[in-house]
A and B are shown apart, each in its own frame.
Chain A
Amino acid sequence: MTIDIFWRIPTHGEPSSHRSRKPWRGDWFPGNDNLTKPGLSGGEDGTSYIDYLAEIARAAEISGFQGGLIPSFPSTDEPWVISAFLARETKTFRFMIPFQPGFLNPVVAARKTASLQRATGGRALYNIITGGGGPQQLWWGDSVAHDDRYARTTEFLDVVRGVWNGGPFSYQGKFYQVEDAGLPDPLSAEEFPEIYFSGSSDAALASASKHADYYLSWLEPFDALRDKFNRVKERTDVLGRKIQCAVRVDIVARPTEEEAWEEIRRGFDNIDPAALARFQGTGERSESVGAARQRDFRPTTINSYKDLIIEPNVWSGFSLLRGGQTQGIVGSYEQVAERLDDLVRLGADAFILASTPHLEEAYRVGEEVLPLVRGRPSGSAVLRAVG
């Protein structure tokens, strides 16, 4: 299968470059909850942050991305709402909606999804997340324990699939029950959304193997990622269900490698020392296995941005420049495309890329990097890397 490449919608707001946190687009700001003059939002003319997000979604579809991941955190706007709001003003953009199954009744979720499919011409996808546990989970009003939550995720998707084509479907699970359920016509004629699944624990893999189409991982050092993808594919092959793998990765791509690293250097030099100290420290732990893996790949002494280069073109300080993941790819257009092809060779079937600012960079990456990615021509065998 050919490679699907997605973009990301910055629900956190975003700075106008990697170099500095100012000016900030949108009204959210990590570490500053009292931004007095938010950019691009809350204008007296009635504009709001959704107007900027609409620009990004359209830039992404015009420059050739499949669509975008719309992250959901306690501090962000919500992807279901953003997707519905932007349905009519996009043409090909696919809305990847992260949500935790515990938050919605599965029959309601099925109706929401089918309606969104109807509103968009089949452009909705799920990113099923099961939650990191701890205090964060109780903030959302969810007190189910870590491994139980994956059991619930499995049940949730059992029910959504069960009712999807009209039923009648009955189910007696530990978390969900329905009786003679089914989506009404014409909602029942819609395509079921592709499922991107996140979660690194064994409980997560067991659940993913039953329902996921794509296993989604943050970028990790390439050898670690190869092992992880092999493990996922072995596990799901045993269960009889082929699953694809996808990588979320931030990138900085410039005409030359020097320019790309200069961008990182300037950004690093502008980091608040306290933020760097927090980055090196332990921070608040959650039960998330994925977050722990990210920490493990981090060096203990950081004197320069160069100390965070963990392999060629891979920098592990992205979360210092903006919220989100740690590892990302830095290099010339050619190098970034080559690293993406390396990831294809070690098992990636899809990407969610991002760069700041997401609007202008959607065009840059779409025009300069995507045309250089060889990907995997349709019909060629899926290569399983062996070391």
Chain B
Amino acid sequence: MTIEFIWQLPTSGDGRYGDAGQTRRGERTASSRPPFTEGVSDPRGDRFNFLDHLHQIARAADLAGFDGIQIQNDLEGDESWIVAGYLARSSRRLKLLTEFEASRGSAVYAAKNAVSFQRFTGGRFAWQISQGGDAALRRRHGDYAADSERLPRIGEFVEVARGVLTQSPFSFKGQFFEVLDGGFNGPLANHPVPLIYLSGNTPEALRLSARSADVHILDAAPAEELKASVATLQGLAAVQGRRIAFGLRIDVLARETEDEAVHDAQRFLAQSGRAVGSTDPVVGPNLWAGFATAQTGAAASLVGSYGQVAERLTKYADIGISSFVLAAIPHFEEAYRIGEQVLPVVRSRIATQLSKAA
């Protein structure tokens, strides 16, 4: 399995430093204070908003050698499918890993929209279907499904979408979705089903991934701990006669030296109002837990020199991770840094290992 590096696109805002919620580059709202003094003219007017900056981040990921972008389903930000389409024509090869919830509406309609994405991008559209927040948050978004119904609903969503994308006629009547003699014909037929990325740590989530996912994304944890999850899930998939790939959602803070990285990490914590606490954030080699912001959403971050971070990522590849969904604040500048300083090292180490193994 080839390794892919996917860069996160922060759809509700980014940070210059640690205060990630505070900055939406390009955005002007009526209430926000003009950035320049009265003595300096500002040519921008209201001609830009944060989407222009998201566009720059996507271009940065493209130019810096990432294989894809993950377009977050952040309910405080812009809607992921619109962002995906808005960026699609500005990159020639990035996979558009678009996150959403199965509460968004008809699975047939989602599949039909996906066909247009695949036609217009040469098959670069991919789905990350997430479970969403707690019940109160989901009610705010018109979703009254019970907690226990979330995973079965994702299962049906995938089944219906795959069905209409690969068969015609296709009929299905489930608890959440229904279609009669569906399926796409003519030029809409036979386009690749978006690769499906799922996640979750419960036994139910693992069983769903075994049945329905192309890639199961694991939360960041020490590599040794993830080994067991990989083995368990691959076993469940084998029972279904399937093999699935594994992803890792992890943040990275990489600098020329480890000292610099640790210094910046501590400053980052201080700036985001979280003093370096009494509990040691370091939970593994170069791995800090409780460090990422709500905006990036990672369970843990790699903090270290370029070489150290590359080494740790290689280690994850060794235990079977092939999709790295990475993020760092600010996403624009860090896309270049990670793309230039870390990815080439990881890629060459993995290539060397493969050639030795061969």
Contact = CB atoms under 8 A, between A and B. Distances in A.
Interface string B125-143: 0000000000010011111
A29 B105 contact: no
Interface of B: 12, 24, 27, 29-30, 49-51, 55, 75-79, 81-86, 88-90, 92, 103-109, 112-113, 115-117, 119-120, 122, 136, 139-144, 160, 177-182, 184-189
A201 B98 CA distance: 39
Interface string A177-189: 1111110111101
A138 B180 contact: yes
A174 to B, nearest CB: 13
Interface string A155-169: 000010000000000
Nearest to B54: A119
A49 interface: yes
B109 to A, nearest CB: 4
Interface stretch (A72-80, A223-231, A292-300, A376-384): A72-80
A88 B122 contact: no
Contacts of B55: 88
B130 to A, nearest CB: 13
A84 B120 contact: no
A70 to B, nearest CB: 11
A78 B188 CA distance: 11
Contact of A85 (B29, B88, B143, B179): B88
A75 B142 contact: no
A128 B179 CA distance: 21
A115 interface: yes
A119 B89 contact: no
A78 B109 CA distance: 9
Contacts, number: 182
A81 B142 contact: no
Interface string A74-112: 110110111111011100000000000011111111011
A84 B81 contact: yes
Contacts of A74: 112, 184-185
Contacts of B83: 84, 115, 119
A105 B24 contact: no
Interface stretch (A140-148, A213-221, A260-268, A320-328): A140-148
Contacts of B139: 177-180
A33 interface: yes
B85 A81 contact: yes
A13 B79 CA distance: 28
7 contacts: A80-B85, A88-B89, A89-B89, A104-B104, A107-B140, A135-B181, A178-B140
A159 B143 CA distance: 13
A186 B142 contact: no
Nearest to B120: A50
A75 B85 contact: no
A141 B106 contact: yes
A368 to B, nearest CB: 32
Contact of B79 (A33, A85, A108, A139): A108
A100 to B, nearest CB: 8
Nearest to B82: A115
A179 B12 CA distance: 22
Given A49-B120, A80-B85, A115 B105 contact: no
Contact of A83 (B50, B76, B85, B182): B85
A346 to B, nearest CB: 36
A1 interface: no
B182 A78 contact: no
B140 A181 contact: yes
Interface in A36-57: 38, 41, 46, 48-50
Contacts of B141: 105, 107-108, 178, 181
Nearest to B93: A46
Given A139-B181, A141-B160, A184 B76 contact: yes
A: interface residue count bin: 35 or more
Nearest to A188: B29
Contacts of B24: 186
A114 B119 CA distance: 25
Contacts of A180: 139-140
A200 to B, nearest CB: 24
With most chain B CB atoms within 10 A of its CB, the pick from A48, A84, A104, A140 is A84
A138 B181 contact: yes
A29 B186 contact: yes
A111 B106 CA distance: 16
B178 A141 contact: yes
B181 A85 contact: no
Contacts of A105: 103-105, 141-143
A118 interface: yes
Given A50-B119, A103-B106, A108-B142, 15 more contacts: A29-B186, A74-B112, A74-B185, A81-B120, A84-B84, A87-B85, A103-B109, A105-B103, A108-B103, A112-B79, A115-B82, A178-B141, A184-B12, A184-B75, A185-B29
Contact of B49 (A13, A77, A104, A118): A118
A247 to B, nearest CB: 28
A331 to B, nearest CB: 34
A352 interface: no
A315 B182 CA distance: 35
A60 B177 CA distance: 39
Contacts of A118: 49-51, 78
Contact of A189 (B30, B82, B107, B184): B30
A189 B81 CA distance: 20
Nearest to B111: A141
A75 B103 contact: no
The 8 closest A-B pairs by CB, nearest first: A84-B85, A33-B186, A138-B180, A104-B105, A103-B109, A81-B116, A115-B82, A141-B179
Nearest to A89: B89
Contacts of B50: 118, 186
Nearest to B185: A33
Given A75-B185, A84-B81, A186-B24, A178 B120 contact: no
A211 to B, nearest CB: 18
A176 B51 CA distance: 30
Contacts of B90: 88
A35 interface: yes
A143 B108 CA distance: 13
Nearest to B78: A115
A61 interface: no
Given A89-B89, A108-B79, A140 B108 contact: yes
A35 B182 CA distance: 21
With most chain A CB atoms within 10 A of its CB, the pick from B55, B78, B82 is B82
